[in-house]
Structure 1
Amino acid sequence: MVAVAAALALGTNAGAQLYSTPAEVTANPLVKGFTVSGLTLSQGQTRVTLDLAGGRLVGLLVQGQGAQEVARGLVLAWGGEEKNVADLARSLGAEEVKAQARTAQGFAEDSEGTVLRLKVTGSGNAERWSAYTSLLIHPDSAFPTTANAEGNSKAPNVLRVFSDFQCPYCKRMWDTAHRTWAAQPNVYRVVHYHFPLEQHENAEPAAIASECAAAQGKFWPYADQLFSRVEDWVPQPNPTAKFVEYARALKLNVGTFQKCLTSAAPRTAVRAQYAAGLKVDVRGTPSVYLNGVQMQDYSDAEEAALIRTVTAASPSAAQVIEARLKALR
């Protein structure tokens, strides 16, 4: 995977670099000697075009004669240094990558919070490369439907959280950031998705229990019980009795709750949400998406502010990026 390998090689968060201002981009040593004209930087036959939303870089198109020129533009977008250009150029110039880039569809990869599209035409002195990298913004349709949502349905920002009740980092988020989000219902709509990790044996049963509580309109208080009493139910070989105890404490219909625990519907819902998480590149928990953008650090107020800026802009980052990708198809 070229984009992933490149991001790792650069040792930086590729997605975050794309939020730069035009002034920050043009001041980068990587484009020393380039001529700047509006949102276009050029040197010889290499042209770099900046796509902005809310005054911030959300996508970068680089066109040139070879992998070296394209690599420079991508390293610029991904926040690397001059020393990274040659390594990335070698990766891009690999025969299997070039072969795919020469097809009608071109080379395409979405990972590490970024989009990469690469096309190569011509040969020899007439060879021409085009590469586009941008923020990866998932549409609402990429996420499954769930009733486990809180906050105003018309709130301007949607936080989609993939979580695991047995995950200590998820509990930390629940006790800190989640409380902040929940206290601002007109700012944030918070949607919960299940992503029980394989190594957490009681995580899926807990998720199923929470779905059974949700069926009686008590998902959020039940989730609070699971997180606050995690040391009680996690060590149990069979935590069902504990789950029933929490249902009783919340005055749920216990008989209905117990029947639900053994039915197919909640397990199906949990596994469907897990599968959807894999498709949007969830690799661990908690994973938080703000307005379709996967956050690198859900507690980073600056990152959240940048995402809100580019997604609320007119045109929005998603619209700017889609227009560019459409032109490249």
Structure 2
Amino acid sequence: MPPSNLSSLTPDTFILTGIPGMEQLHVWISIPFCFMYVAALLGNGVLLLTIWRERGLHQPMYLFLAMLAVADLTLSTTAVPKMLALFWFRAREISFSACLTQMFFLHFTTMAESKILLAMAFDRFVAICFPLRYGAALTLSAVAKTGLAALLRSSCVIFPCVFPLRRLPFCGHTVIAHTYCEHMGVARLACADIANVWYGLAVPFSVGLLDLALIAVSYGFILLALSRLPSRPARRKALHTCGSHLCVLLLFHAPAVSSALTQRFGRSIPPELHILLANLYVLLPPLLNPVVYGVRTRQIRDRVLKVFVRPRSRLPRRDRR
């Protein structure tokens, strides 16, 4: 088919259906989703403001945490406002360009977050296995370069995955059974060039698995180093410093892997269950990550109280009356 005819089959808009079979419950489902989104905005916003204002937190571990908070905010904000508009106002239409933009930032942010979690694992590895070299290895310049590398790698992986969709014909297929534009859901609507679908499966999934394997290797060395510590309190303290990161890893990778597998291989899984899992994937990690670090990390908890809860004893005497 000539290129002109292919381009003529590219739709101007797509139609998002929401959660198939649960349309009558959209308004009720939107209530917890809205509360979770607002809580995620507040939690990550408080975390970022605390790290920015407190110079004592301008260290690699907390700077990586700030990057994670920015990634979480981007991930949820890319998907949730359109999702709520769909649930509340039945705003089901989304332009082709807006759909590709949403798709790009969703997958781009996921790749960047995976890289940030790998950097945080490396940070814990150096801090526990080579504590005397920590200051020399993880400088502010190294942290900035790691953040830049995460952005560049994510762009290089996702750009060839998303933007070739602009050249595919869709033959009038414009209905996306989802609450937001996801690569596999859109690519499967195309009536040509199935290679793009397989690229969207193979490359991002393999990159994520590589990050997960490197994280596992890092923690293998960490556990080996901990087994050599002479005292049990020292081992317990070192494990506690890794506990928050391990919780965040589970919060990120478990929903991501579940959503990817059900989308690509779970034909027997009801579509409404898959879409609910995909919605929770863009809500739960942004919601719970700041809570996990706020509860388990004393330094952050103390600095949040210092920034947002001013002790009455510090107020002037006349203001305490």
TM-score tier (shorter): under 0.3
Q: Which has the higher contact order (CA 8 A, sep 6+)?
A: 2
Please give the TM-score of this superposition, normalised by the length of structure 1.
Answer: 0.25
**Bigger strand share:** 1
Please give the TM-score of this superposition, normalised by the length of structure 2.
Answer: 0.26
**Bigger helix share:** 2
